[in-house]
Amino acid sequence: MANGQGHGGTGGYGAPPQVPYGQAPYGRNPYGENPYARPVPPPQPYPAQPPHPAHPAQPPHPAQQATPAHPAPRPPYGAARPGGFPGPAPRRNRAAVLLQFLLQWIYAPLWVLGLVLLFVVLVFADYNGSGPSSDGWLKVNRSFVPPRRLRAELSGRPEHWERYVAPILARRTAAAEAAHAAGGGEVQADLGRVVQVRLPLRLYRGLGADGVVRLAERHGWRGVASGTDAGHVRLARHFPAPATLNAPSPQDPPAAPGSPWGPQPVRFAPLLPFVFLLQILYVPVYGLLTCWVSRPEPDHWERWGARWTVGPRAFRAEFTDSPAAWDRHIRRILERDTNRIRAAATRTSGTTPVHRIQLNRATYRGAGAHRALRLAAEHGWTLDPAYTPDPANSLRLTRSDLP
């Protein structure tokens, strides 16, 4: 054929190049080429391209990955995790937990009875000596294992510990948020306030501090690594400062009586002497009988005192209900607090740039919160922008020009 692909052709597509007669390489293998030899590629007229694999390399399956012969040891409790919080603590001995759970129903009542007898003895003996530096021996609940925690202690499973500590964490964070609403918390540089919660190790032993922080983050709280040790975990939440202060200016006209910023009704004058004398008896009795009651308002005692007690300084102002007497009483309280803060600033060399005080409702009951705000402005005090105004219960004031 013309193209040389037929029988006897001198060359065709894919045929080896012809060698002139007499120029065949000496010693050529007559049995053909070695199939295992690596042939020398002919020169290419174009730049060589990297070879493309038939199947791209795939990452090895996790099950096929090589596992170390000796796994890394688990860090001991107290060592910082990647998040900066310790993990679960070592489990307690089951026999010891069961023995404590059985014996606590005997020694806990005896412990409480012994504390009551000791208190009575100290009262009648007029003891004035110094006691222990810690009050841990007064708290029986620290050594008490409730039934709900018994299962978690015995099983040691994280889900059981989480089921136990979750409601405790919810109650304590709710109480801290209520305390913030009542004026609690530490004021920050941005005028926001931070409230904190601290849990002991016995409440989350099998969950670890990192597990408690994970639960708290669901409710807007965060862990404080700097205040967390091997025996406690500390949580915090930041609340921003109020956007606006819904309050009148000291230069505004006086508020109407009965309004939140106006004068409030005073108590019946002939009843005040009996309240002044009997409060010495019924205030301690009421406190001892209701000290164990959980109050929904963190400032319950301040509100209760403003209603059922009368101070010696406010007795004349409330008994006469005279505007001049109320002004004199408010000015006396403002001067007392100002002098106290000035003395404290002098002792600390003025390291506190901003000073804060609080006027309770009993201080300005008959004059009104607006009148108290006007008198405070005369002494250099203004409303504290870090707190939402609550004239029905208290006034929070601030100033920064004290030496």
- State the sign of the Cα–Cα–Cα–Cα dihedral 350, 356, 362, 365: positive
Non-local (6+) Cβ contacts of 84 within 8 A are 223, 225, 228
Tell me the C-alpha distance between 389 and 359, whole Å. Answer: 12
- pLDDT at site 74: 47
Characterise 368 by phi-psi region: left (phi > 0), alpha (psi -120 to 50), beta (else).
left
What pLDDT does residue 142 have? 73
Q: What is the dihedral of CA 174, 177, 262, 360, to 10 degrees?
A: 100
pLDDT at 133: 52
Per-residue pLDDT at 114: 81
Number of other residues whose CB lies within 10 A of the CB of residue 341: 16
Q: Tokens 């016995």 belong to which residue?
A: 202
Q: In terms of DSSP H, where are the helices of 3-146?
A: 94-125
DSSP assignment of 235-285:
EEEEEPPPS------TTSPPPPTTSTTS--PPPPGGGHHHHHHHHHHHHHH
| Whole-number Å distance between alpha carbons of 163 and 154 | 14
Give yes or no for a contact between 250 and 374, defined as CB atoms under 8 angstroms apart. yes
CA distance 324 to 149: 61
Q: What is the mean pLDDT of each run of 10 residues along the chain (403 residues)?
A: 44 46 44 46 50 50 48 47 75 89 83 78 63 56 81 90 94 92 90 93 91 92 82 92 88 92 93 93 88 77 88 92 95 93 75 83 94 94 92 91 65
DSSP state of 114: H
Q: What span, in angstroms and rounded, lies between the C-alpha atoms of 83 and 10?
A: 79
Strands (E), 168-227: 186-187, 193-200, 222-223
222-223 vs 186-187, strand pairing mode: unpaired
User: Which residues, in sequence order, are CB contacts of 111 under 8 Å at separation 6+?
Assistant: 140
